[in-house]
Amino acid sequence: MTPRDGEELFELSMWGGAVERRYRQLRPEVERLPWADFDISKATPEAIRAARSTWTEAAFQEHRTGAACAATLQALISARAPIDLVAMASRFALDEMVHVELCARLAQLFGGGAPLSYDPKHLIALPDAALSPKLQASELVIRNFCVGEALSIPILRGSWHAARQPLIKAILGRIVKDEAAHGAFGWLYFDWALDFHDEADRLHLAKQAARTIDAVVERWKLIPIIDDEKDEQRLGWMESRSYLDLARRSLQQAVFKPLLERGIDPRPHLTASLDA
């Protein structure tokens, strides 16, 4: 794949040496995962090709989420969020880099990452710099945590329960464990921040949440519906119909419900259809 102008191939590396040893000390559980138990001998070539693409895309999305966590952390500091809340968020970028490694190493075991190009200058969307520091922080939190991370947790948990291959199950379990704190963070943040925002701010936040939800729902439409999927065909994900059913339920319970409880309603601003 030849990247278009302004794009680069998504490629990763480890520096090694003392830097890697320090990283391993921070997160030793990575090397404790059952890497030696990887067996895909029953998988079809088509399933392996799909898995390479799926886990490469997963590594890229975790990479983007790491950038979003870093941007959110800077915004929290600028907004003078409580120190303990900022400290809680400071670990999230590390978690995401661990998830990048896990997904990338798994793609490598399937035969190598699939070609994927992206624009590094537009890795994530940033708020309008004219907004107040608190509103910038709240916009990033609502997009990245109250929608993105909150929605990913039940879906990842469902994939973890569905996984049969030991290494894949262990990787998903590790990610689920980390993401639990990420998903709770957005609601903790708004327990502090909501009183700083007036109705105009809440309308802005509702529209930003809706834009994020629209993008997620549009990605769901790209998931192929395959009847009679077998376990060996699903190397790390749920059966497609079950996945989509869980995703729609999770959107209602994990995103809409807590947003509405905080007086933020993205539903009137959605453009994507939520119908099955």
Q: How does pLDDT run across 44-103, given as a tens digit for each residue? A: 898 899 899 999 999 999 999 999 999 999 999 999 999 999 999 999 999 999 999 999
Q: Is residue 4 part of a domain?
A: no
Q: State how many domains the chain has.
A: 1
**Closest C-alpha among 123, 142, 122, 140 to residue 131:** 140
| CATH code (residue 167) | 1.20.1260.10
Q: Is residue 69 part of a domain?
A: yes
Please choose, from the candidates 158, 123, 138, 115, the residue with its C-alpha nearest in 3D space to the C-alpha of residue 244. Answer: 158
Question: How big is the CA angle at 202 (ends 197 and 208), to the nearest 5 degrees?
Answer: 125
Query: Is pLDDT above 60 for 164?
Result: yes
- Which amino acid is located at 129 in the chain? A
Residue 8 and residue 44: Cα distance in Å, rounded?
30
What is the overall mean pLDDT for the chain?
A: 92
Domain that holds residue 216: 42-123+132-223+230-269
Q: Answer left, alpha or beta for residue 43, where phi above 0 means left and psi between -120 and 50 means alpha.
A: beta
pLDDT at residue 232, as a whole number: 46
8 A C-beta contact, residue 93 and residue 46: no
- Residue 15 included in any domain: no
pLDDT at 231 over 70: no
With H, G, I as helix, E, B as strand and everything else as coil, classify residue 205. Answer: helix
Work out the average pLDDT over 223-248. 71
Domain membership flag for residue 95: yes
Task: Judge whether 34 lies within some domain.
Answer: no
In a domain, 22, yes or no: no
Per-residue pLDDT at 224: 72
Query: Does residue 36 belong to any structural domain of this protein?
Result: no
The stretch 197-219 carries a mean pLDDT of 96
* 3-state secondary structure (DSSP) of residue 113: coil
- Return d(Cα 153, Cα 156) in angstroms, integer: 5
